[in-house]
Chain A
Amino acid sequence: MRNIWKYILILPGLAGLLLFMVIPLTGTIASTFWENGRFTVNGYLEYMQDPYFLNILWVTLRTSLITTLVCSILGFPTAYFISKTQPRVKMLLLLLSIFPLLTSPVVRSFSWMVILGESGLLNNLLTFLGIAGPLDLLYTQSAVTIGLIHLFLPLSIITLVGVMDNISEDVTQAAESLGARRSTIFWQILLPLSIPGLLTGSILVFVGSFTAYTTPALLGGRERVISTFLYQNAMTLNDWQLASIVATIMIVVSFTVIGLMNWAADKIAVKGGKLSG
């Protein structure tokens, strides 16, 4: 009897997911294979041969992968530092690092516009110091990447701190007492033991930047990414069929990349790379 109650507890969540995710998603995906009452894959074939769309897909993928990589590289040492501090300082630093998450993406993007614009803070500084003339920073993929890194770095840091907190200092000291240099400790102990956090963080950052709308829309100018392209199809061109196809492609690409990340993480962290035990 008690077991039944346990399952009843998950019913509300399950119902919500079914109603608001599984059904509409299945509908959306199904609709892409249906045209004038007949099954078809023409929509996909057209997209796959359209250089304009392929370019958008490639640019989005590249931007999100660069964002993911940079967030991991910047997040790793930061998280390591935070995990080594005293509990009180740690709370403060964690709070500071998630602070960007507490402001709206719109506000943040506008701030970057102020900094990166043609007569913005950065360009003024560069011109003043005579390093370079006004650069075209705003409305490029670089601006989008910077905005996304700013947006998602906290996710990287939080997930990594969570994992690094579980790496006992004794383990690194054991390696040290056995003669390992700092670099060896990093590559052979810290990094492999941080893979689970690195993976979770990377998935969050990648999915977030791959599907981000506000930041690319505000900082990317006329350059399209896949989510702004989807919006354009649905809202401006009112072509829901095409928008659904784009959405489906986004889902497939996301899952493929997540799968690849999982596979790579498995390769790097050899068997038994669990943190407990």
Chain B
Amino acid sequence: MAYLSLQQVSVAYQKTNILEQFNLEIQEGELVSLLGPSGCGKTTTLRLIAGFLHAHEGAVTLQDQDYTNVPVNKRNFGFVFQNYALFPHMSVFDNVAFGLRQRKESKSAIKTKVLDMLDLVGLKGFENRFPSELSGGQSQRVAIARALVIEPDLLLFDEPLSNLDANLRVNMRLEIRRIQQELGITAVYVSHDQEECFSISDQVAIMNKGNIEQLSNPADIYHYPKTSFIADFIGFKNFITFDRKEKQTEGTTYYKADTAFVVADHPGSTGREGMMGAIRPEDITFHTRENAAHTNSLSGTIHTVIFLGRSYQYEVRTSLGNFTVNEEMFAPLQPGTEVALTFPPDKWVIVEKTEVTTHAG
């Protein structure tokens, strides 16, 4: 039985359903991320779990207990806000002690716990500072300490790092992961940053329009996205809807017009029925010499070139539409150059067709 479970939950905001018949199960001790573009319902899901929002249908249970109508202040969940939400008129110590004081713990117990927790988040000696005297990173550490010190049954993060600068973000996510594992706490983490989610989570749930399109470990999602929406979201820029396919002894050959593409069997995507193939820009290889007659190959003309830093991004026009290709090169090829594109069989992923924003083929 799952530790936390949402069963057939529907949440509406101003008469529009944001979540409809939504299900989610989280095991004890796991850190699960909800990842998706803005408006996908990830924050709604988190606020529902926290109790700030209520479901008009369905049930929320934690350790088999019904939490659907338990008020926020009786839940014992820690919540870390995007903008820290520290109490500006209280010292760091009082901020962290706030939850313990609501629990009527003794003064000496509060003092020990608060100081231990500040030590854990690396803020020893900061107890008498005020929030206005802290940097963004320090503020978020206080917010985390404040949520952790009550020994919550569940720890909820609402885009906790999005107000921090890039370097600090990387450090803080390592810290969050370390603390979460050290305390063995179950956590739900919301973000729109895929690298952040992939790096700290046991499981990632990719959300789109109020649904979870895929819930797996980060590597599976990265390599074998289940739907075209997910593939697009995590950087597959090229999609082809094939006409027909033929099962081979090893892999499957898919056809689009007269061109054949061999797609290798992946352990992570066996049994997928769809006819849509997706491939990342950096996985397509590039030849200037004309040899496009082969399987898995297509000739085309470079249309545009963009410098990305590590590589150049080319927009290549072919008979099957435009393809986006990233190549590491010292000097870029000029628009108008004839090229041959090669699509390695093990880089293709067959995906289920859902809403995609960019489309080729």
Report A's interface with B, CB cutoff 8 A: 168, 170-171, 173-181, 184, 188-189, 192-193, 269-277
Instruction: Using known A-B contacts A176-B73, A177-B77, A277-B132, determine if residue A269 contacts B99 with beta carbons closer than 8 Å.
Output: no
Interface string of B129-153 (1 = CB under 8 A from A): 0111100000000010011001000
Instruction: Using known A-B contacts A272-B130, A272-B132, determine if residue A189 contacts B87 with beta carbons closer than 8 Å.
Output: yes
Give the docked Cα–Cα distance between A178 and B146 (Å): 8
Q: Is the CB of A175 within 8 A of B98?
A: yes
Instruction: Using known A-B contacts A174-B81, A271-B130, A274-B132, determine if residue A180 contacts B89 with beta carbons closer than 8 Å.
Output: no
B132 — nearest CB in chain A belongs to which residue? A277
Give the docked Cα–Cα distance between A274 and B90 (Å): 10
- Chain A residues within 8 Å of B41, by CB: none
Instruction: Using known A-B contacts A170-B81, A271-B130, A272-B131, determine if residue A175 contacts B87 with beta carbons closer than 8 Å.
Output: yes
Most B Cβ at <10 Å: residue of A178, A269, A273: A178
> Quick one: which of B75, B82, B83 contacts A177, CB cutoff 8 A?
B75
Shortest CB-to-CB span from B337 to chain A, Å, is: 54
A185 — nearest CB in chain B belongs to which residue? B73
B104 — nearest CB in chain A belongs to which residue? A179
- Chain A residues within 8 Å of B90, by CB: 270, 272
Q: Does B360 contact A (CB under 8 A)?
A: no
- Chain B residues within 8 Å of A176, by CB: 72-73
Q: Is the CB of B83 within 8 A of A170?
A: yes
- Chain A residues within 8 Å of B83, by CB: 168, 170
Shortest CB-to-CB span from A171 to chain B, Å, is: 5
Give the docked Cα–Cα distance between A121 and B150 (Å): 58
Q: Is the CB of B85 within 8 A of A269?
A: no
- Chain A residues within 8 Å of B132, by CB: 272, 274, 276-277
Shortest CB-to-CB span from A127 to chain B, Å, is: 48
Instruction: Using known A-B contacts A179-B103, A180-B102, determine if residue A272 contacts B88 with beta carbons closer than 8 Å.
Output: yes
A-B complex: 10 closest residue pairs judged by Cβ atoms: A277-B132, A272-B130, A178-B99, A170-B85, A179-B102, A273-B89, A174-B85, A177-B79, A176-B72, A170-B81
Instruction: Using known A-B contacts A170-B81, A178-B150, A181-B73, determine if residue A193 contacts B88 with beta carbons closer than 8 Å.
Output: yes
Report B's interface with A, CB cutoff 8 A: 50-52, 72-79, 81-83, 85-91, 98-99, 102-103, 130-133, 143, 146-147, 150
Q: Is the CB of B73 within 8 A of A168?
A: no
Give the docked Cα–Cα distance between A42 and B90 (Å): 50
Q: Is the CB of A171 within 8 A of B79?
A: no
Instruction: Using known A-B contacts A168-B83, A170-B81, A181-B73, determine if residue A272 contacts B91 with beta carbons closer than 8 Å.
Output: yes
Q: Is the CB of B89 within 8 A of A193?
A: yes
- Chain A residues within 8 Å of B102, by CB: 178-181, 184
B76 — nearest CB in chain A belongs to which residue? A179
Instruction: Using known A-B contacts A177-B77, A271-B130, A272-B130, determine if residue A171 contacts B72 with beta carbons closer than 8 Å.
Output: no
Q: Is the CB of A171 within 8 A of B150?
A: no
Q: Is the CB of B88 within 8 A of A273?
A: yes
Shortest CB-to-CB span from B119 to chain A, Å, is: 20
A172 — nearest CB in chain B belongs to which residue? B85
> Quick one: which of A177, A192, A270 contacts B72, CB cutoff 8 A?
A177
Give the docked Cα–Cα distance between A276 and B90 (Å): 13
Q: Is the CB of B98 within 8 A of A173?
A: no
Q: Is the CB of B103 within 8 A of A177?
A: no
What would 18 more interface pairs be, CB under 8 Å, given A179-B99, A179-B150, A272-B89? Answer: A170-B82, A171-B86, A173-B72, A174-B143, A174-B146, A175-B98, A176-B73, A177-B78, A177-B79, A178-B102, A178-B146, A179-B102, A180-B73, A189-B87, A272-B91, A273-B88, A274-B132, A277-B130
Q: Is the CB of A173 within 8 A of B85?
A: yes
Q: Is the CB of B72 within 8 A of A274?
A: no
Shortest CB-to-CB span from B85 to chain A, Å, is: 4
Shortest CB-to-CB span from A25 to chain B, Å, is: 37
B130 — nearest CB in chain A belongs to which residue? A272
- Chain A residues within 8 Å of B85, by CB: 168, 170-171, 173-174
Give the docked Cα–Cα distance between A184 and B150 (Å): 17
